[in-house]
Structure 1
Amino acid sequence: TRLLAAALVSPMMKMAHNARKIARNDFSGQDLTVPNRDEMGELVKAFNKMKHATEGYINTLKENNEMAELLHKEELEKIEMEKRLDAARLELLKSQINPHFLFNTLNMIACMAKLEEAATTERMIASMSNLFRYNLKTSEQIVPLERELKVVQDYMYLQQMRFGSRIGYECKAEVDPNRVMVPAFTLQPVVENAIIHGLSKKEQGGKIVIRIWRKGGSVIISVADTGVGMSQQRCRELSEAMQGSRTSGIGIGLGNIYQRINTMYKGGGLRLYSREGSGTVMQMTIPQDAEMNPAQQ
């Protein structure tokens, strides 16, 4: 009986125990060893080989599943990129107005306003012409900060003529705007967003303050408004939407600015801070490298 137990029962019990572990997807532990050199010994060796083969097969299935999930994620990103490209194409089609006709018409209206001594109308037309010219004729990816601030100034003048004393504007630059390079079309969309979603919804209006300063090797551009603000949850949703390249609820403008800054600059970024009822702050970090110096453009 002892010989039978040692030769047959004990190895079978060990194999049964290991089989239950394998059924639980647990392949830990040493291989089974028996002193037998008979059919039971061959059966134990075959069991050990089966254990390793099953473990390898399961690991291969896991790797294939992870690869499939990765490919699916890449496919979704590709679809999202195609959607953004289609949106960009649509914006391009919208902007394909004959610039010469537009500028000539605006200049003609400005001349008529000047002849009629309508100084305010003349300046409004000139500001509108400057905005169109910048949007339609600027092909550079990186421009001096001075140009971006001039566009914002023209835009704010038009908005102040629209809203009157309800809208205030202030710019505090602690840098030389001519020596700081920033991505084109970054400031005006942020300011426009602040007016549309922040100040215009507030009955008494408010103020927009742009502050620019250096921090290390970067320039910080802060666009703050005293508008209606937003809840912390909504602020997080917008930040996650920008980081996830989603334009739903934030518009193409802000999402495009976030993606361009993060793509063009290592260490660059766009952050959103807000408090409901108090206002919102958009803060851009633009690293300044030597090759971006205006003298080298």
Structure 2
Amino acid sequence: MMKLTGILNDIKLRNKLSLIFIAAAVIPMLISGVILTVQLREILIAGAFQQAVSNVERVRQRTEEVIKVPLDISYRLSNDSRLRTVVNREYGSNYEVVHAYKQYTDLRNYVHMYKEIQGIRLYTPNSTMLNNWDFMQPDEAIQNQPWYKQALEQRGLVGWSFMEDERDGQSYLSLVRRINLEDWLYDSVLVINVDTVLLNAILAQETFATWIVDDQNNIVAANRPDLYGKNLKEMHGDNPEMLTRSEGSFDVMLAGHPSKVVISSLSLQNSWNGLRVISVFRIPEIVKEANGVIGRAARVIAASFFAAILLVYSSASLITRRLLRLSKHMSKVGSGSWKAFLTIDGKDEIGQLSRQFNGMVERLNQLMNEVEESNYQKSLLEQKQNDIKFKMLASQINPHFLFNTLDSIRMEAHVRGQEDIAVAVWQLSSMIRSSLEIGNRAIQLREEMNIVLCYLELQKFRHEERLQYELNIEPDAEQVEILPLIIQPLVENSIIHGLENKEEGATLVQVHVYRIQEGVRIEVIDNGAGISQDKLLEIHGHLEDLEEEAADRRIGLRNVHDRLILSYGKPYGLRIDSVEGKGTSVSFLIPKEGHMHV
């Protein structure tokens, strides 16, 4: 070792720099490049695999949340005594059937209240009933469907089938089950369609090809629209593991490319079958970009290597001479001679270093003081940042805590048999969640009406028989976009001033939505206490005076009125008509070609 050290010490600096560059930079760089290339490929594949596993688990959880809604509704309907009465009754005329349908609207109400549901229909062989798309008599073709037979054979267990809806000819992932087997006179089969758009929206966020398939390998949702409704047997019939495996991951060749497949099963309680979430990514696509970067880097490194050898060798002599002079002066400073000055010509780094050398010694103490001051300022900044973080954490409110708490209260009320309390808590939670999710964006009328329905049900729970309500909306008006939370304040105002100021008798609140030539007319009518003409004139004056601050009791009307005017123009504000002792009507118009500024 000493002999080798002596040999190295005898080599001239320019040659030594070249050897050191080759031994210490080039050779390790080549070895490291090969190792890193292999490891990078493995890391990319492992990262993509971990991402696929996480994506599949996230999709599975969100899909489970969606399909729990129709599952919960099916349990409610299976124990619905009113539904049992409608289905088991022997009707003497069509009038009796139509009257019964008008009295029982729960099936349509569920569709309107839950965005996870596309439709509900009940097949019952009661020959005295009429088909109205909610209640249907199964014909021979329906009775011979595998899903219909399985539902009858499974005695109340839930099944999930990809089936065509007779109403619109579209195929949906649907819940099927025979309900209340022992008490009903007729073997009835309940079908609840899951909203396909919502399922596809869950998958649309995924980077890799991801599908949800049923037990027959039908693709019921996908992040590629062209795959929806196809069968895996047609696409990957040569890969039986993809068709039959319910959990785990495996390697497979797809279209001539090595790929990885991640599968997770989704099995719900009391179901005779389940669903699977499948995610696929091709390995060449994952490492393609990395391979390109590595290839370009290798070419650059090779060219740089030869140029560096020449430059190192040619410039080593010049550098060594000037460095020797610099070393001597640095030795003087190291020995404590702070008055030493160095003069080396040239405008390169060494020349600049020589010119800065003199000032370095002079600024040394100043620099140390600046470092100390900088550390002190950094310490103060970190302390203030920690204080801000603590205050932010202390002031955070997690909406999920509120929703989880309300859900726990609802479940506890359900367990104790307090169904009315459970429903009220659920409606409050749904209303709060909708209000938080809406933000400032425009929403469809049916979303707003769902919020109004939840609010009315909560007030109905509070006031019981003193409050009655009717919601009438024309079907072709449900898709019209409207300002969020624009109808609910009007309904709230009707209840507060119409019902609570009424000494006796029930108050009826009506919400009518219908199309007219100019657009969509929305009216909120009550038969409550009404408003005197003097008071009505005063209210109109406050609404029109934009400079005046709204009074507390009129802040809801003023807020709605101002938002309508700002969005559609002054002619489209609130119109209020009232007769004292008879009731109040509040209405406004959504223009046909209106453009909102929200």
Q: Distance in 2 between matches of 1:192 and 1:227?
A: 13
Whether the 8 Å contact between 1:144 and 1:177 is mirrored in structure 2 is no
Q: Deviations over 1:34-82 (max 9, x none)?
A: xxxxxxxxxxxxxxxxxxxxxxxxxxxxxxxxxxxxxxxxxxxxxxxxx
Cα distance in 1, alignment partners of residues 446 and 555 from structure 2 = 24
Q: Assess if the C-alpha contact under 8 Å between 1:175 and 1:212 holds in 2.
A: no
Please point out which of 557, 560, 563 is paired with 1:254: 557
Deviation for aligned residue 1:248: 1.6
Taking the TM superposition and a 5 Å limit, the aligned residue runs for 1:9-24 are: none
State the shift of 1:176 in Å.
2.7
Map Cα deviations across residues 69-122 of structure 1 (whole Å, 9 max, x no partner): xxxxxxxxxxxxxxxxxxxxxxxxxxx853111111001111222222322121
- Displacement of 1:188: 0.8
CA separation of 1:133 and 1:177: change in aligned 2, threshold 3 A? farther
Matches within 5 A, 1:33-48: none
CA distance in 2, matches of 1:132, 1:148: 13
The answer as to whether partners of 1:241 and 1:250 remain within 8 angstroms in 2 is: no
Indicate the residue corresponding to 1:127 in structure 2. 427
Runs of 4+ residues over 6 Å off in structure 1: none
SS at match of 2:584: strand
> What is the SS of the residue equivalent to 1:185?
coil
String of CA shifts for 1:119-150, please: whole Å, max 9, x gaps.
21211111010111122221133211101111
Which structure is larger by alpha-carbon Rg, 1 or 2? 2
TM-aligned CA distance change 1:277 to 1:97, over 3 Å? farther
Tell me which of 571, 583, 587 is aligned to 1:283: 587
How many angstroms does 1:219 deviate by? Answer: 0.8
Asked if 1 retains the 8 angstrom alpha-carbon contact of 2:499 and 2:529, the reply is: yes
CA distance in 1, matches of 2:400, 2:432: 11
Contact 1:180-1:288 at 8 Å conserved across structures: no
Pairing partner for 1:207 from 508, 529, 535: 508
CA distance in 2: counterparts of 1:263 and 1:143, whole angstroms? 17
2:526 and 2:409 map into 1 onto residues whose CA distance is: 33
Q: Retained in 1: the 8 A contact 2:490–2:557?
A: yes
Question: 1:223-238 to 2 correspondence within 5 Å?
Answer: 223-238=524-539
Q: Given that residues 444 and 478 in structure 2 are in contact (C-alpha distance below 8 angstroms), is that contact kept between their aligned partners in structure 1?
A: yes
Does 2:565 align with 1:265?
no
The answer on 1:148 being equivalent to 2:448 is yes
Task: Note the alpha carbon deviations across 1:185-221, whole angstroms, 9 max, x for none.
Answer: 1111110111111111112131001111122232110
Local SS of the residue matching 1:277 = coil
Q: Kindly indicate whether the alpha-carbon contact (under 8 Å) linking 1:175 and 1:214 is maintained by their aligned counterparts in 2.
A: no
CA distance in structure 2 between the partners assigned to 1:284 and 1:168 by the alignment: 22
Q: Secondary structure at the match of 2:432?
A: helix
Q: 1:250 to 1:274 in 2, by over 3 A?
A: same
More helix per residue: 1 or 2?
1
Which letter maps to 1:199? Answer: L
On the 8 A contact 1:229/1:280 being kept in 2, the answer is: yes
CA separation of 1:279 and 1:106: change in aligned 2, threshold 3 A:
same
Distance (Å, rounded) in 1 between the aligned partners of 2:460 and 2:480: 27
Return the alpha-carbon distance in structure 2 between the equivalents of residues 156 and 130 of structure 1: 13
- Which amino acid in 1 is paired with 2:527? T
Task: State the superposition RMSD in angstroms.
Answer: 1.9
Secondary structure at the counterpart of residue 222 of structure 1: strand
5+ residue gaps in structure 2?
Answer: 1-395
CA distance in 1, matches of 2:475, 2:579: 28
Q: Which runs of 5 or more residues in structure 1 are unaligned?
A: 1-95, 293-297
Are the aligned partners of 2:573 and 2:588 in contact in 1 as well (CA < 8 Å)? yes
Query: What secondary structure, in the 3-state scheme, does the structure 1 residue paired with 2:422 have?
Result: helix
User: In the aligned structure 2, how far is the partner of 1:270 from the partner of 1:175?
Assistant: 24
Structure-2 change in CA distance of 1:199 and 1:290 (3 Å): closer
Post-superposition CA distance 1:207-252 (Å, at most 9, x none): 0011111222321100000001011111111111112134126432
- 1:238 and 1:250 in contact (8 A); partners too: no
Report % sequence identity.
Answer: 35
State the partner residue of 2:204.
none
| Structure 2 counterpart SS, 1:186 | coil
Structure of higher RCO (CA pairs closer than 8 Å, 6+ residues apart): 1
Q: Quick one: distance in 2 between partners of 1:272 and 1:236?
A: 10
Matched residue type, 2:568: Y
Q: Could you tell me whether the CA contact under 8 Å between 1:182 and 1:286 is conserved in 2?
A: yes
Indicate which of 391, 394, 399 corresponds to 1:99: 399
SS at match of 2:476: coil
Q: Secondary structure at the match of 2:575?
A: strand
2:95 — aligned with what? none
Q: Match for 1:209: what amino acid?
A: Q
Match of 1:116 in 2: 416
Contact 1:228-1:277 within 8 A present in 2 as well: yes
SS at match of 1:176: helix
TM-score by length of structure 2 reads 0.32
Give, in angstroms, the shift of residue 256 of structure 1: 1.1
Which of 449, 459, 480 does residue 159 from structure 1 map onto? 459
- In structure 2, how many angstroms separate the alpha carbons of the residues matched to 1:102 and 1:289? 39
1:189 aligns with 2:492: no
Q: Secondary structure at the match of 2:574?
A: strand
Could you tell me how far apart the structure 1 residues matched to 2:558 and 2:402 are? 29
Q: Please, which moves more after superposition, 127-136 or 223-232?
A: 127-136
Q: Contact between 1:199 and 1:227, CA under 8 Å: does it hold in 2?
A: yes
- One-letter identity of the residue aligned with 2:486: T
- The 1-side partners of 2:451 and 2:514 are apart by 19
Pick from 214, 239, 243 the counterpart of residue 540 of structure 2: 239
TM-score by length of 1: 0.62
Secondary structure in 2 matching 1:112 = helix
The answer (yes or no) to whether the contact 2:568–2:595 under 8 Å persists in 1 is no
- Give the CA deviation at 1:175: 4.3
> For 2:594 and 2:507, how far apart are their aligned partners in 1?
38
